[in-house]
Amino acid sequence: MQKYESIDTIPDTNVALNYQTEFLNSLVPPHNLELKIGTPIILLWNMDSPTPCNGISLAVKKLLTHIIEATIMNVHGAGQDVFIPCIPIIPTDLPFQFKHIQFPVQLGFAMTINKAQGQSLKVVGLNLQSSCFSHGQLYVGCSWVGDSKNLFILAADGKTTNIVYPEALQW
């Protein structure tokens, strides 16, 4: 297992004295990143080349000091290896200048409806215990998997309040 910690800095030393390190580490996740070979990850920011873009699912192939080598798992370019560098992230929505240096990835064992849009997955599990769906999202979640035997839905009392056309759920 490889552990990576972000480097969080404020260029203005007079302002830096006003903020604790723990606060700075919490501003842009992830501060502590623990990865091992084979771990599924999701890219959080677009990279320079056209293939690795925000939300893409990857599997860690090699862990180096300043580079992660990963394989694209389930979109255009599946099976292609990509290199993800440790990059500086400079938020513009803070009242002070701040620089966060870390790999732009997070663990990808689960993802939201929006992050998974347009992907094909071998197995899908949908958690419907809370009403977080808007119209049609249940259908979108069910459509990611090609075989209904690989679709698992968790819902309180086996019911959800989602509104969808019954024909859309016919296999």
Strand stretches in the chain, DSSP E:
2-5, 7-9, 32-35, 40-43, 57-63, 67-72, 81-85, 87-89, 99-102, 105-107, 124-127, 151-154
Residues in the chain: 171
Q: Which structural domain, as residue segments, surrounds residue 44?
A: 2-109
164 SS3 class? coil
Number of domains in the chain: 2
pLDDT < 50: residue spans in the chain: none
Strand partners, 59: 40, 71
pLDDT of res. 134: 61
| Residue in 53, 73, 49, 57 with CA at minimum distance from that of residue 106 | 57
Does 87 share its domain with 137? Answer: no
Does 121 share its domain with 139? Answer: yes
Does 129 share its domain with 60? Answer: no
pLDDT of res. 73: 82
Does 119 share its domain with 89? Answer: no
Burial of 149 (0-12, 13-18, 19+ CB in 10 A): exposed
pLDDT of res. 51: 60
The pTM of this model reads 0.69
> Which of 109, 124, 156 is the C-terminal boundary of a domain?
109
Could you tell me if 90 and 98 are in contact, meaning their C-beta atoms sit under 8 angstroms apart?
Answer: yes
> Which of 109, 135, 158 is the C-terminal boundary of a domain?
109
- Paired sense of beta strands 57-63 and 151-154, if any: unpaired
Tell me how far apart the alpha carbons of residues 123 and 135 are, in angstroms, rounded to a whole number: 23
